[in-house]
Homo-oligomer: A and B are copies of this chain.
Amino acid sequence: MTSQQHQPSNVLYAQAGGPSAVLNASAAAVIETCRRHPQRFGRVFAAINGIKGVLEELLVDTATLDADALDSLKYHPGAAFEACRFDLDPMEDNPAQYERVLAVFKTYQIGYFFYNGGNGSMVTAQKVADYCSAHGHKVTCIGIPKTIDNDLALSHCSPGFGSAAKYLASSLLEATLDLYSMHNTSTRFFALEAMGRNAGWLAMAGGLIKQQIPNAPLIILPAERPFNREAFLQKVAAFFESHGYCTCIVSEGLVDINGDYISIENVEHTHLKDYTQLGGVAHTIAKIVANQFGCKTHSAVPDYLQRAASHWVSQTDWQLAYDAGVAAVNAALEGLHGVLPVVEVTSTDPFQWQFKTVELFAVADLEYRVEDSFISEDGMDITQAGLDYLRPLVQGERPLTYRDGLPNLRIMTFETVARQLPPYQAVK
């Protein structure tokens, strides 16, 4: 569907869900690309705290960002505009929320809504856009992909994944060299925990250490394969025999054959709805090995470090994130609505890609898990096909800037526009 708009409309950009190291590259891309089309795009606002900031009228006019600020934005870790983990209620439960969003959109003459988040929240965004359009205020909604977990369906990969993969593979490499140097008289097993609740992509990325350590005694435990304690211990024993040590990377969401999480205390429930917080499986795995073999083991849980590591950004991943922002704006320019730009590889050598668009609803309920052909038959290793898939995504580095010995980073704060509406009263 193509539409011609003759009056420039204003733009709203928002972030949702967990950040990636390259999330803000997409933000910068949206802002820079919109600026190049003043005949189509008016003011470009960014919401603070995603859709929550829309409700609360916390909007930044990005015209206040000069070239320096945009450059800082491009490699800023975290969500510069403060991503939210907040979803609108179902429309029937809380129509007031939707009315409020409509009021904000009308007030700021928002005609384009770019939502940089996970699948679920993007569908919410589209519902908002549809609601507005149905009430006489036409809004074009375009998603921008982002996830370190790489679980976005219909896309070759997700912006954000390559950088976290680079961080994990590089960290595992360094730690494995440490382990190697100690294994004769001390620690013989090391486990690194990778994020990924249901998708083991980040654990698979550990396989990349084989580039630098051919024939590495590496065990990968992706979320896609239930943990088989006996087979695992047999493999550890075999590596102890052949190499004297064993290094391991494990998905935080590793489950046993019954589907129960293998993590500290098995499961931990937070006070937040029915969210199960994971973390600690690497420690559990290391303990299993220590108990079985009577040897010293170590484990590491990098947690946020893996997604905030702006110092180890993959330049390829960064470009994917930037291009995703550009593609979203281009989709709007083409008059598309309710779509998400996804990555399509056009050449494997050299690695080249383009963005195509898919319907937002088409990806909402899909989950891209590690392909069977990427996991070895024993479920604990990566195949050559898996390595071939991963390698291009971690390529390239950027020169780093430091200030007084630490990365030259700071908290970015933005002035929000003066409110024009009465304060938002949350209705439950």
Contact = CB atoms under 8 A, between A and B. Distances in A.
30 contacts: A19-B178, A19-B182, A52-B184, A76-B177, A79-B181, A79-B182, A82-B180, A82-B184, A84-B185, A169-B405, A173-B406, A174-B304, A174-B311, A174-B409, A175-B303, A175-B304, A178-B304, A179-B304, A211-B404, A211-B406, A264-B280, A271-B295, A272-B295, A280-B280, A300-B303, A300-B305, A301-B303, A394-B406, A395-B404, A396-B405
A307 to B, nearest CB: 7
B85 A186 contact: yes
Contact of A174 (B84, B294, B300, B305): B305
Contacts of A389: none
Given A169-B405, A264-B280, 20 more contacts: A52-B185, A77-B174, A77-B177, A78-B177, A78-B180, A79-B182, A81-B181, A166-B406, A170-B311, A170-B407, A171-B305, A171-B309, A173-B406, A174-B309, A174-B407, A178-B307, A213-B410, A272-B295, A300-B301, A314-B405
A311 B78 CA distance: 21
B84 A184 contact: yes
Query: Which 7 A-B pairs give the minimum distances between C-beta atoms?
Result: A78-B181, A394-B405, A300-B303, A271-B294, A79-B181, A178-B308, A85-B186
A296 interface: yes
A272 B187 CA distance: 10
Contacts of A226: none
Interface of A: 18-19, 49-50, 52, 76-86, 166, 169-171, 173-175, 177-182, 184-186, 190, 208-209, 211-213, 264, 268, 270-272, 275, 277, 279-280, 283, 287, 290, 294-296, 298-305, 307-312, 314, 391, 394-397, 400, 402-411
A181 B405 contact: no
Contacts of A185: 49-50, 52, 84-86
Given A174-B409, A185-B52, A312 B311 contact: yes
A185 B212 CA distance: 41
A173 B19 contact: no
Contact of A397 (B184, B264, B312, B400): B400
A59 to B, nearest CB: 15
A298 B303 contact: yes
Contacts of A303: 175, 298-301
A212 B409 contact: yes
A397 to B, nearest CB: 6
A232 to B, nearest CB: 19
Contacts of A301: 283, 299-301, 303
Nearest to A302: B300
A178 B404 contact: no
B290 A411 contact: no
Contacts of A310: 174
B304 A211 contact: no
Contacts of A305: 171, 174-175, 300, 302
Nearest to A309: B174
Contacts of A180: 78, 82, 411
Contacts of A270: 290, 296
A184 B49 contact: yes
